[in-house]
Amino acid sequence: MNDMYRTGAPEARLDPRSLRAARTRLLDVRGALGLALAVLLALGYALWLYKAPMLSGKAAFWWRDHADITQYVTGFNAYVHEPWHWPLLRIESLNTPDGTLATFVDAIPLYAMLLKLVHPGHGYWNPFGLWIAICYVLQGVGAWWICREAKMRSWPVLAAMTLLLASFPALTFRIAHTSLMSQWMLLFALAIYLRGGRLGRIATGPWTALVVCGFYINIYLFAMFSAIFGADILRQLLRPQPTPALRRQSVARALAAPVAAYGLLFVTMWATMLPMPPGSGRQEWGFGFYSMNLLGPLHGGRLLELATPIAHEGQGEGFNYLGIFLLLLAAVVYKLRQRHDPAFWRRHGVLFGVLVLLTLFALSNTVYLGNVRLYSLHLPPQLDAVTSTFRSSGRFFWPVGYAIVVFAVLGAARYLKPASAALLLAAVVLLQFWDLQPHHARARETVSLPVQPAIDEARWDAFLGPGVKALHYYPPFGCGDPPTSEALLPTTAYAVKRRYPLSTGYIARTAKSCTGYAATISHLPASTAVVFDKPHFPRLEDAQREMGANATCADMQLVFLCRRNAATSPEPDHEKTSIASRSLL
């Protein structure tokens, strides 16, 4: 009788084991929730350190016209507001008539190409606050990925790894060099290396994606993670296999990985960069000067302050403080590894050797301990291509520093009881933040510098008038002594804002003629004005002499600004000298 009142299908019962499995997956640190925690911790740290206006691109820091950031913002705006050219990264309005590439103005080419495609914006704008936020998000992703590949299941371990990697001093120190904030690529490289160890084979797909994308973000970081890639390849080549057939398969896979990665990169370069603009490839001085001091990893915190941590200002490029408490943790983990896993160093011997080589390169051929020079090596000229390209060698300790953080955190998690590891790592994080207080204060001071315009744009507009359509700047970048000046970046910013093509710019590895300025100027049309840098042309008469007849020059504080008089306009009586020396002061 009861069957007459039953409707629909019988009620499904939930399996308790399925519920427990779903809950376990949800709470697994290696899943989406762990990824979200790492991202929020890293981004939260960035907001705490730099504040929201900095990450939104609205802080005054971004609008300085005579700092490194000026090069990035001007290069980006010149690139995105031009039509597409071939190759795709070409910029025609800087370094005219030869042009240049977005690569050589540190505009983060991959990011700039994407924005040019989907959101070029209007006017003179800054996308790099968002890029800093993206970098911290990806720094968190890198911390999570490393823990995932290492099979870490502890939430405290993930939190400690994320906070130590997000607050890595060499990262926060680089806030003024936007593309160098992309150090998440080094974390991705370490994660892919760990993945290869877990799988027992090289992870060709992730390496290829990192190589192709990373090349178009920053060439220094590209070289650093390529070294880790090389260690992974060599590890795979040396890994023993049980049968000859498996050995051949392992070797073929290891050799195919770099062919695929760098081969695909080379193919993309024919669409993005090649052929290179004329004058590209100039070698630059600095190797041995922009180096790391042997005391670099020890100086920069509150606990230990050294009297002479560097030998000269160039070693600021070698800032590589790690943290005394982190180094103590690494020493403890080293002892634990020796006791519990002595084969660790044999398994990772290739990577260890690569990190040693990177350290030696960071120290360069002139090695200092404090302000004491220990020795200098005379390198063969065959290495000039490498040392001039990577002249700021002090940066190459970054992968070593990150590897030490990963080694210390994972070792503590692996060889201590979970509660002990959590307490120890929490203590290290708290002590690290306490020790980094002076460093954090310097970082905040850097991004809080007031804006003081180097040039009066309204005065330039009034002097140049509507007839000027382009600017020439003398001497070109790289000419003269010193090879740079305080006026070049402000002039570049002014030219890009007004959409004026500019004959030079703060452009890496680009060479132009340093002679015959007057002959070149004599052939310029009246629509091209000329800027003379005062350190190289200290008197108004010097600028007048280069301009020749029928021109007007004005003293604009940093520079002398000159333009041609209209050919049909007679000069006033007081300008009948070869050139009037009118000043707008």
In this prediction, residues 502-525 reach a mean pLDDT of: 92
CA distance 140 to 24: 22
Q: Which of 449, 479, 514 is the last residue of a domain?
A: 449
State both tokens at 404. 């030490």
In this prediction, residues 88-110 reach a mean pLDDT of: 96
CA distance 347 to 327: 22
CB-based contact 473:96 (threshold 8 Å): no
Residue 380 forms part of a structural domain: yes
CA distance 290 to 395: 9
| 534 phi, psi to nearest 5 deg | -65, -40
Q: Are residues 575 and 489 in the same domain?
A: yes
CA distance 309 to 269: 41
Q: Could you say which DSSP state residue 119 is in?
A: -
Q: Are residues 303 and 422 in the same domain?
A: yes
Torsion 360-366-368-373 (CA) sign: positive
Compute and round to an integer the Cα radius of gyration of the chain: 29
At 1 the pLDDT is 45
Give the number of domains in the chain.
Answer: 3
In this prediction, residues 487-492 reach a mean pLDDT of: 96
State both tokens at 388. 């001039």
Helix (H, G, I), strand (E, B) or coil at 553: strand
At 566 the pLDDT is 75
Q: Are residues 332 and 406 in the same domain?
A: yes
In this prediction, residues 287-309 reach a mean pLDDT of: 95
pTM of this prediction?
Answer: 0.92
At 449 the pLDDT is 84
Q: Are residues 435 and 340 in the same domain?
A: yes
Residue 487 forms part of a structural domain: yes
In this prediction, residues 199-222 reach a mean pLDDT of: 97
In this prediction, residues 176-190 reach a mean pLDDT of: 97
CA distance 79 to 77: 5
Q: Comparing 277 with 571, which gets the higher pLDDT?
A: 277
Q: Are residues 301 and 418 in the same domain?
A: yes
CB-based contact 451:126 (threshold 8 Å): no
CA distance 366 to 372: 11
The DSSP annotation for 392-426 comes to -GGGGGHHHHHHHHHHHHHHHHHHS-HHHHHHHHH
Q: Are residues 287 and 417 in the same domain?
A: yes
Q: Could you say which DSSP state residue 325 is in?
A: H
Q: Which of 449, 469, 485 is the last residue of a domain?
A: 449
CA distance 199 to 201: 5
Residue 430 forms part of a structural domain: yes
Distance between start and end Cα atoms, the chain: 107
In this prediction, residues 238-261 reach a mean pLDDT of: 94
CB-based contact 276:87 (threshold 8 Å): no
At 122 the pLDDT is 86
Confidence band for 5, pLDDT divided at 50, 70 and 90: very low
In this prediction, residues 233-248 reach a mean pLDDT of: 93
CA distance 355 to 406: 14
Q: Are residues 299 and 391 in the same domain?
A: yes
CA distance 369 to 363: 10
Residue corresponding to tokens 């790289």 = 478
In this prediction, residues 462-473 reach a mean pLDDT of: 96
Q: How many residues does the chain have?
A: 585
Q: Are residues 379 and 465 in the same domain?
A: no
Confidence band for 333, pLDDT divided at 50, 70 and 90: very high
CA distances from 311 to 10, 119, 200, 288, 314 (A): 81, 45, 45, 12, 8
Confidence band for 430, pLDDT divided at 50, 70 and 90: very high
Q: Which domain holds residue 114?
A: 53-130
Sheet order of strands, 470-474 included: 470-474, 528-533, 559-564, 551-555, 579-580
Residue 286 forms part of a structural domain: yes
Confidence band for 121, pLDDT divided at 50, 70 and 90: confident
CA angle 515, 517, 522 (to 5 degrees): 145
Dihedral in degrees, nearest 10, Cα atoms 483, 485, 491, 496: 50
CB-based contact 304:403 (threshold 8 Å): no
At 11-47, the pLDDT tens digits run 556 567 766 666 667 678 999 999 999 999 999 999 9
At 60-71, the pLDDT tens digits run 999 998 889 999
Residue 216 forms part of a structural domain: no
pLDDT at 390 over 80: yes
pLDDT at 2 over 80: no
At 450 the pLDDT is 83
Q: Are residues 388 and 312 in the same domain?
A: yes
Q: Could you say which DSSP state residue 65 is in?
A: S
Residue 11 forms part of a structural domain: no
Side-chain half-sphere exposure of 75, counting CA atoms within 13 A? 31
Q: Are residues 398 and 514 in the same domain?
A: no
pLDDT at 397 over 60: yes
State both tokens at 556. 């604009």
Angle between helical axes of 418-435 and 324-340 (0-180°, round to 10):
150
Residue 472 forms part of a structural domain: yes
Q: Which of 97, 130, 163 is the last residue of a domain?
A: 130
Q: Are residues 86 and 126 in the same domain?
A: yes
Q: Are residues 475 and 377 in the same domain?
A: no
Confidence band for 570, pLDDT divided at 50, 70 and 90: very low
At 66 the pLDDT is 87
At 157 the pLDDT is 98
Mean per-residue pLDDT over the chain, rounded: 91
CA distance 279 to 492: 19
CB-based contact 283:388 (threshold 8 Å): yes
In this prediction, residues 82-104 reach a mean pLDDT of: 96
Residue corresponding to tokens 């600004």 = 561
Residue 10 forms part of a structural domain: no
Weakest mean pLDDT among 109-118, 191-200, 240-249: 240-249
pLDDT at 471 over 60: yes
CB-based contact 191:149 (threshold 8 Å): yes
